[in-house]
Amino acid sequence: MRWSLGLLAMLTGVPVSGLAAQGRESDAGTFTVTVNGTGAWREEFIVREGRAPNRDGFTVDVRLFAGRGISPAALASIEWGPDSQPTAAEIVDAGGGRRTFVQLSKRRISVRGAVPGGESLREYPGAEPLLLADDSLVTWFAMPPRSGTSQVTVFRPRAERRETLELVDRGVDATSLGVHGATLRHVVLAPGTDETHLWFDNQGRLMKVERPAAGLLAIRTTVTP
């Protein structure tokens, strides 16, 4: 895939406005992730309207910081089409490590891995509806599932894992964001290897992710209007 402008800016330090015109920012924030109660990583992300090159949809650019690190441990980007289906993604490990590039369509999912010693290419059957996930990224769930969806294929490119899950929309539920109570839309992916609980506010913004079996809890700590 082509590098998104936001991810290029993260890599080069050049402001997005210095690269090319970019879609309107529709959401941004930070997630703090704990595993079994211990701080594990945080994710800073920006959601923008549009995809490269000049196509409708949305792009999410993510910087992942391990522990209390001040330099990104990984960068990631995902693109969605106007139908809320993922069309492309990439993950870049810091320090010249592995790069993973993903292209998605109804017919095929292509995953290209690049490391200093070479490259690999794998292909999998496509699916719709489809969610792209990664065990080390919660913000890839930033796009709310389409209404009326009861079953979804979840694909994790780096783990090479593909599974069909039930998607249960529990409507509005009471929960907590840290020490504060909240009432949010509650969506559950189950059963799979472990349930994933997604919580969205009334503007469709992802606020919380839980994977109880893994002891993972991700809470949004900053919200940019």
Q: What confidence tens digit (pLDDT) does each residue in 177-218 have?
A: 988 899 999 999 997 667 999 999 999 999 999 999 999 999
Instruction: Count CA atoms closer than 13 A to 71's CA, side-chain side.
Output: 5
Q: Which domain holds residue 114?
A: 5-224
**157 HSE (CA, 13 A, CB side):** 31
Helical residues (DSSP H) of the chain, grouped into ranges: 5-12
Region 42-64: what's the mean pLDDT? 89
Placement of tokens 């891995």 in the chain: 113
- C-alpha distance from residue 9 to each of 13, 17, 27, 103 (Å): 5, 9, 17, 21
Reply yes or no on whether the pLDDT at 14 is more than 60.
Answer: no
Q: Inform me whether the pLDDT recorded for 34 exceeds 50.
A: yes
What pTM value is reported for the model? Answer: 0.85
Write down the pLDDT at residue 192: 62
Q: What pLDDT does residue 61 have?
A: 93
Distance between start and end Cα atoms, the chain: 29
Q: Which segment of 30-34, 41-45, 53-57, 103-107 scores lowest on mean pLDDT?
A: 53-57
| Residues 210 and 224: beta-carbon distance below 8 Å | no
Give residues with Cβ within 8 angstroms of 118, minimum separation 6.
none
Q: Picking from 17-26, 56-65, 116-125, 144-153, which range would have the lowest pLDDT averaged per residue? A: 17-26
User: Given this model, what pLDDT does residue 38 score?
Assistant: 94
The number of domains in the chain is 1
Burial class of residue 142, CB neighbours in 10 A (0-12, 13-18, 19+): buried
Cβ–Cβ < 8 Å for 132, 102: yes
